[in-house]
Amino acid sequence: MERMSLRKSDRMIGLLAAILAITLLLPPRPAKAELPSAVSGQPLPSLAPMVERVIPAVVNIATQTKIQGAENPLLADPFFRHFFNLPGRSAPSERVERSLGSGVIVDAARGIIVTNAHVIQKADRIAVTLVDGRTLQAKRIGEDQETDIAVIQVTGEGLRALPLADSDKVRVGDFVVAVGNPFGLGQTVTSGIVSAVGRTGLGIEGYEDFIQTDASINPGNSGGALVDLEGRLVGINAAILAKGGGNVGIGFAIPVNMVSRIMTQLLANGKVRRGLLGVQAQDLTPELAQAFGISWLEGAVVTRVVPGSAAEKAGLASGDVVVQINGRKIRGASDLRNRIGLAQVGDEIEVRYLRNGDERTVKAEVAEIQKRRVKGESIDPRLRGVELESGEGTGGEASGILVASVRKGSPGWKTGLRSGDRILSVNREEIHSLENLTEAVRKESQQMLIGLQRGEEGLYLLVR
């Protein structure tokens, strides 16, 4: 046993000596771990060169809005003022609200800047600060609340603009970089990937076709740039999905192709003229596809064709399934509404649809939406003092009836309706036209359960 232990010891000593000899022949290693300068012979990538080109085109926007202070209605009563020996009425107080956002220079020669409509909404003064510290006063060109896009203009030397990408070619998984002015900190850059494309039905804007990204987007990033790795503008940062307003890895940007179409109209007219095809539609579901005997999984089923509309003239009918507009796939009713609503009035569009399983193609000319206004009392006495507006047949989901105005103290005011409300249903029946509203109200004359949208909230009013 002792002889065998000696043999093992001799072998161990020999092995250690061999390892020591090999180690001495190897080149010296660094004293601490560090990143390699190259991988597979290629230097480590950096976004810095691209970001350096992008940052000068992204600006900070500061706005000032004068707000008239509300006066207590009792102070407007002369008897009340005399009884309490109050001095004469003074002018209503005024305060100034300030907000911050971001914008992107898209035309350096003309000083054209794109931002979100909510960034400059009702602003009396718009100041643009460039990355070099210069502050320029901006002129409002136009804004479109439905898409949350606005265009402003500045005059200055040495402006830098971003080239535009084709957002239709953006794919899930593409790397993107968000540049903006979160929390007023100044230019900030974050990166991520495209998490989804074509996001709709979020209730954020009227026309939605968002690019979703996990690049950090925080308050103040609104109106900033979402760019690809070549530094081309992919979208305008618009919103975040978080109750507390902070980043949770779900941000949304308006695709630059949509931005470009809206910008063109704002520059030409100062406003957007919405297109009208003259149909209302719902999403194609697997159950409907099976009922229609078709294999398509996505599309918009036409539920109604407005008489005399472009859709009727083109031969579209209820039950047709629209699957493409100008060669672009239609995923559902919201997608159809976007495609038509963002087309310019007078454009000829190619509509591909299915009827009884057969594919057909027609061309239709987009018409301007004709809005109609009626007085509420013509529908029901309880709606006296209310003006209702309809822009039906806008090419997609039924969007209800707009409450254009409500006279204070009127029966309509006492129902709880307010200007800007959108009536979506009456007694749980969906509303898509003034005629439809009239029928729904008269079916149940005792009471009305009105479902409406107010801002970003939905609520019901019970009117007796």
What does the alpha-carbon distance between residue 353 and residue 361 come to, in Å, rounded to a whole number? 6
Q: 376: how many CB neighbours lie within 10 A of its CB?
A: 25
Residues 6+ apart with CB under 8 A from 244: none
Q: Counting Cβ atoms within 10 Å, is residue 295 exposed (0-12), middle (13-18) or buried (19+)?
A: exposed
Cβ(54)–Cβ(162) below 8 Å:
yes
* CA distance linking residue 323 with residue 292, whole number of Å: 14
Q: Are 416 and 443 in contact (CB under 8 A)?
A: no
Question: Which phi and psi (to 5°) does residue 320 adopt?
Answer: -70, 150
Tokens of 84: 């309490």
* Region label for 40, one of left (φ > 0), alpha (ψ between -120 and 50) or beta (otherwise): left
Which positions ≥6 away from 451 have C-beta within 8 Å?
A: 423, 424, 425, 426, 428, 458, 459, 460
Q: Where are the beta strands (DSSP E) in 201-314?
A: 210-213, 225-227, 233-240, 251-255, 275-276, 279-283, 300-305
Active site residues: 118, 148, 222
According to DSSP, residue 428 is labeled: T
Look at residues 75, 127, 81, 122 and name the one whose alpha carbon lies nearest to residue 101: 127
Q: What DSSP letter does each residue of 51-86 carry, written as one string? A: HHHHGGGEEEEEEEEEEEPPPPGGGG-HHHHHHTTP
Distance from C-alpha of 215 to C-alpha of 177, rounded to nearest angstrom: 7
d(CA 376, CA 395): 26
Whether 84 and 114 have beta carbons less than 8 Å apart is answered as no
